[in-house]
Amino acid sequence: MNKNEIMERLTDVFRDVFDDDSIVITPLTTSADIEDWDSIEHINLVSAVENEFGLRFKMKEVSGMKNVGEMLGIICERGKNV
């Protein structure tokens, strides 16, 4: 699976978690760009992404993610079988 396909799946997860079909994410998207993205929703988002891609993020990865691009990078790196 390539980065574009992963971004499409991530977009679907974001839209589902935040219940907003108008969300468009890019690698530079941060929590400041999505109105309802707070610490609680971050946990829900991480869980939903893990379920979608069949992987588990390490705690240091979760706490260190600054934008969608970093999440994408981890999925690409660790999710070879996604």
Domain ranges of the chain: 3-78
How many CB atoms sit inside 10 A of residue 24's CB? 9
CB-based burial label for 54 (10 Å; 0-12, 13-18, 19+): exposed
pLDDT tens figures, 16-33: 999 999 999 999 999 999
pLDDT tens figures, 33-74: 999 999 899 999 999 999 999 999 999 999 889 999 999 999
Residue 8 and residue 59: Cα distance in Å, rounded?
25
pTM listed for this prediction: 0.91
3-78 under CATH 1.10.1200.10, yes or no: yes
Predicted local confidence at residue 80, as pLDDT:
62
CB-based burial label for 42 (10 Å; 0-12, 13-18, 19+): middle
pLDDT tens figures, 8-18: 999 999 999 99
